[in-house]
Amino acid sequence: MGIDTEFGVLRISVVARSGAGAISVPGLKVGDIVIWCFQTSPPAWTGPGGAFEAIISVADELQQTGSVGGLQGVPFDLILLRGV
Q: Where are the domains of the chain?
A: 8-82
Burial class of residue 53, CB neighbours in 10 A (0-12, 13-18, 19+): middle
Q: What is the pLDDT of residues 55-64, one digit of tens each?
A: 999 999 999 9
Is the confidence at residue 78, as pLDDT, over 80?
A: yes
pLDDT at 1: 46
